[in-house]
Structure 1
């Protein structure tokens, strides 16, 4: 039993598809797109099933490929390659885009990480200000050299070795003076309570 579809050579098929792509690009010829669909949708479907291993996903992607061909037909240049190569490049890129979308999670607008921090309560603001005032008063009880060390270490986030180089002190001295300053701060803050 013979098929009713005439056999064509690759060159003849390429010429046919090229002329169809030109017709789609120039005049949005639906009949030309239908011919491309008839010739290539089974091949694209097989290609996409092989990659996705999901028949339904492949069917959906075939539709995306055909839509992309419709939209991008004017970008086809027969001097740069065959129509089949151009069509399968679109199929490959469509598959890659779908794979990337699948790998990238959707944003959950209710995710706590995406929500703005709530406005602090007035009592929390008051408590925070009182703590800041207490720390400032406690810092005033320290000698200036210890205040400088704490500012460098905790406010400017300098490492102990950087502070030692900057102040021309041994690193052990820097560490012990910071420890001593914290001891004095702790005592001063307990006295303020």
Structure 2
């Protein structure tokens, strides 16, 4: 997964992404956009998280980056950059805009551009682990699952969760500990 589907042989993925951007530019091709979105949105989100964004901000920025790709496909110039470089430049600029709005100084170590594509074996293993974790989360009792989601996906502290839910702090900690034990067991 991640590489564009192509009926014609001999076109490398970079050329295929360029053709997708052209299809978006010329025909507002939603299928081409969907492929680009599936490939780049998770990578952009991971890039933004790695550069210091919280998960929610990274998700919102990734959505904005992909919307920009849709609306500004006519600005892409394949002689100046690859599609990946263009997308990650948009992401970097969105990140800088967010930092400016928050009136924070730009981090010195803000990465520039995408990392190398992972090996296919690593991608498959990660997809399998993700599916296994998703199933393990679904199998948790509702009360535990909600607390895990708040703590790890909502990035809330135990105190914030207690304040939000009205549950005692000890109950929060116990349920999260039990849920993590169950998840560890399910992942092994």
- Provide TM-score, normalisation by structure 2: 0.49
More helix by share: 1
Q: Which has the higher contact order (CA 8 A, sep 6+)?
A: 2
